[in-house]
């Protein structure tokens, strides 16, 4: 009963709304918006002499020895990751033979310390690892590896002291049991 008349009213309202939107939208789009031209002050520029650009400094091309050393170093790190400790040491030694005391020799020495401290290395030797890490600390004070080398030396010194304490305890136990 009452539902039919409300529906027709809704349709009428919708049509009126659409008509207003359609006509109102057209009316707005037909109006021209006045264009305002900005005033640009006239500036007289005097010719200036520009300074000479700084000379282009080309980076020196790496010497073939340095490129070769970097290749050996990458190979040494990959061999260490694969568990080839002897191969990693051999490639690190090649880096040292090529570069003597120039970077990345510091990385090669640090890598050698890692080889000797690696837990899966059957020839693990904490004292040799400490000597390599100490060599990085003393020989290359500006190296990015110095802080890590100091940490390794501290940890390995602590391990060596604990081993010494364990040996002393074992000796005392043997002496008491006699």
Q: Does the CA dihedral 129-134-140-141 come out positive or negative?
A: positive
Distance of CA 133 to the CA centre of its chain: 23
With 80 as the cut, is the pLDDT of residue 8 above it?
no
CATH code 1.25.40.10 for 64-177: yes
**Interval 58-100: pLDDT, tens:** 544 467 888 899 999 999 999 999 999 999 999 999 999 998 8
Q: Residue 101 has what pLDDT?
A: 83
Model pLDDT, residue 100: 82
Region 147-167: what's the mean pLDDT? 92
For 140-154, the pLDDT digits (tens) are 999 999 999 999 999
What does the domain layout of the chain look like in residue ranges?
Answer: 64-177
């Amino acid at each position: 009963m009452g539902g039919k008349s409300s529906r027709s009213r809704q349709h009428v309202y919708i049509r009126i709304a659409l008509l207003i939107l359609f006509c109102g939208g057209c009316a707005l789009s037909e109006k021209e918006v006045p264009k305002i031209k900005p005033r640009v002050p006239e500036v007289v520029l005097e010719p200036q002499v520009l300074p000479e650009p700084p000379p282009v400094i080309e980076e020196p091309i790496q010497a073939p020895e340095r490129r070769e050393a970097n290749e050996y170093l990458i190979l040494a790190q990959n061999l260490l990751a694969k568990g080839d400790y002897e191969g990693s040491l051999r490639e690190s030694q090649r880096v040292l033979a090529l570069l003597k005391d120039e970077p990345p020799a510091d990385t090669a020495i640090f890598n050698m310390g890692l080889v000797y401290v690696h837990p899966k290395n059957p020839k693990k030797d904490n004292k040799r690892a400490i000597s390599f890490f100490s060599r990085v600390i003393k020989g290359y004070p500006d190296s990015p590896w110095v802080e890590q080398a100091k940490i390794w030396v501290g940890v390995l010194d602590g391990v060596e002291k604990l081993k010494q304490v364990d040996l002393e305890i074992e000796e005392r136990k043997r002496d008491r049991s006699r």
